């Protein structure tokens, strides 16, 4: 735990617990929200070919995850941590231009 606290620049075990809960809730929620969004776009799992349905759903999870991560981070009082995490992740993916809004 001490290594994780040092790496993330946080002070307490409570903060680690909150951060891990935010990651878990965000991952589950983004996967759940992608389904209705794909259906809204007109693709249904039962009637669409899996090769079209699943890749699109997986691609949609990424932007949903990014938005929810900062949102849930804010709700759980960890906005600064997750905003810094988001900036670091997007810059590593070559999407730093998205951060200059």
- DSSP code for 87: H
| pLDDT computed for residue 96 by the predictor | 66
Count structural domains, the chain. Answer: 1
pLDDT surpassing 70 at residue 100: no
Which residue bears the tokens 């693709």? Answer: 43
3-state secondary structure 21-71: HHHHHHHHHHHHHHHHHHHHCCCCCCCCCHHHHHHHHHHHHHHHHHHHHHH
pLDDT surpassing 80 at residue 74: yes
| pLDDT computed for residue 53 by the predictor | 82
| pLDDT computed for residue 28 by the predictor | 94
| pLDDT computed for residue 56 by the predictor | 86
**Structural domain that includes position 19:** 2-99
Q: How confident is the model at residue 76 (pLDDT cuts 50, 70, 90)?
A: very high
Average of per-residue pLDDT values in the chain: 87
Q: What is the per-residue pLDDT across 21-70, written as a single tens digit (0 to 9) for each?
A: 999 999 999 999 988 888 888 777 777 777 878 888 888 899 899 999 99
Distance CA 43, CA 11 (A): 46
Dihedral-angle region of residue 100 (phi above 0 means left; psi in -120 to 50 means alpha; beta otherwise): beta
Q: What is the mean pLDDT of residues 78-97?
A: 85
Dmax (CA) for the chain in angstroms is 50
Distance CA 95, CA 25 (A): 24
- DSSP code for 13: H
pTM for the whole structure: 0.80
């Amino acid at each position: 735990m001490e290594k994780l606290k040092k790496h993330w620049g946080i002070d307490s075990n409570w903060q680690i617990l909150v951060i891990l809960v935010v990651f878990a809730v965000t991952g589950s929620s983004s996967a759940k929200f992608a389904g209705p969004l794909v259906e809204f776009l007109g693709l249904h799992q039962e009637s669409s070919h899996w090769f079209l349905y699943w890749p699109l759903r997986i691609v949609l999870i990424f932007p949903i995850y990014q938005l929810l991560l900062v949102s849930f981070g804010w709700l759980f009082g960890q906005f600064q941590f997750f905003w810094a995490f988001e900036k670091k992740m997007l810059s590593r993916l070559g999407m730093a231009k998205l951060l200059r809004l």
